[in-house]
C-alpha cells in the first residue's frame, strides 16, 4: 500500500496565496476568523502528508485508516481553536509539527474505530477540511432536516424509505415532501459553509 498523499487543495489560488505565512500566523488567523476556512485548509495542506503517513503506517484497513485520518483532523480542528500560542515563554519555541505528531499519536491510540463495513466515509469525496466545515454546517440545520440529509447522503436512503422511517416515528410526511425538504436542506447546508470553503471545494 502506498503512503503517498495528494492534496489537490494546494493548487487553489486561495491556498497558494498563504504559502508565505508561518504556522503561527496561520493559526492566529484561523482562531481570529473562524468563519473563514482557508487558514485551516492551508495548515491541513502543509501537514496532512505527515499525519496521513503516521496513521496509515501499519494499519491493515485503508478504509479505517482514511476514516481515522478524517477523525484526527476533526479533533485537530477543535484543539487548534483553543490552542494558546502565547500563554507562556515556551510558546516562542512552539513547534506545530511536533504538536500534530503528538495529537495524532493520541488519536491513533484512543480512537475506537467501527468495522470497515460500517464506515461511510470517502476521503476523495469529503477531504477533512470540507468534512469539518460540513459537519459544523450540518449542526446548524433543523433536526428533522439534518436527519434526512444524513440518511440520504451518508446511508443512501431513498425518499420513500426516509418517509417510511419518519412516519414510523410519528411524522406525517410523504416521499414528495422528503424530496422537497432535502433540496432545501442541501441549499441551506451549502449556504452555511464559509464562502472560501465553497470556493475551494464546490466550485
Predicted confidence (pLDDT) per residue in 3-59, tens digit = 568 889 999 999 999 999 999 999 999 999 999 999 999 999 999 999 999 999 978
Contact 146, 134 (CB under 8 A): no
Confirm whether 134 is domain-assigned.
Answer: no
Segments forming the whole domain that contains residue 175: 139-201
- 85/150 same-domain check: no
Confirm whether 132 is domain-assigned.
Answer: no
Per-residue model confidence as pLDDT tens digits over 154-173: 889 999 999 999 999 999 99
User: pLDDT at position 5, please?
Assistant: 83
Its pTM stands at: 0.90
Average pLDDT of the residues in 173-187:
97
User: pLDDT at position 4, please?
Assistant: 66
Total count of domains within the chain: 2
Q: Which of 67, 84, 116 is the last residue of a domain?
A: 116
- 108/149 same-domain check: no
Average pLDDT of the residues in 71-84:
95
CATH number where 96 lies: 1.10.1740
Of 86-90, 112-116, 130-134, 147-151, which range is least confident?
86-90
* pLDDT over threshold 70, residue 150: yes
Amino acid at each position: 500500500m502506498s503512503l503517498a498523499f495528494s492534496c489537490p487543495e494546494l493548487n487553489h489560488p486561495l491556498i497558494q496565496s498563504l504559502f508565505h505565512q508561518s504556522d503561527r500566523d496561520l493559526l492566529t488567523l484561523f482562531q481570529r476568523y473562524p468563519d473563514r476556512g482557508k487558514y485551516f485548509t492551508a495548515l491541513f495542506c502543509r501537514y496532512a502528508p505527515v499525519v496521513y503517513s503516521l496513521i496509515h503506517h501499519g494499519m491493515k484497513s485503508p478504509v479505517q485508516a482514511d476514516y481515522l485520518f478524517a477523525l484526527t483532523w476533526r479533533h485537530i480542528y477543535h484543539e487548534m481553536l483553543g490552542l494558546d500560542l502565547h500563554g507562556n515563554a515556551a510558546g516562542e519555541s512552539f513547534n506545530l509539527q511536533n504538536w500534530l505528531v503528538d495529537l495524532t499519536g493520541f488519536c491513533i491510540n484512543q480512537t475506537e474505530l467501527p468495522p470497515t463495513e460500517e464506515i461511510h466515509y470517502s476521503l476523495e469525496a469529503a477531504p477533512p477540511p470540507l468534512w469539518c466545515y460540513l459537519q459544523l454546517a450540518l449542526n446548524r440545520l433543523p433536526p428533522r432536516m439534518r436527519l434526512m440529509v444524513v440518511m440520504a447522503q451518508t446511508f443512501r436512503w431513498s425518499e420513500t424509505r426516509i418517509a417510511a422511517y419518519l412516519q414510523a416515528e410519528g411524522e406525517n410526511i410523504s416521499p414528495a415532501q422528503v424530496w422537497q425538504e432535502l433540496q432545501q436542506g442541501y441549499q441551506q447546508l451549502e449556504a452555511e459553509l464559509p464562502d472560501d470553503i465553497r470556493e475551494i471545494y464546490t466550485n
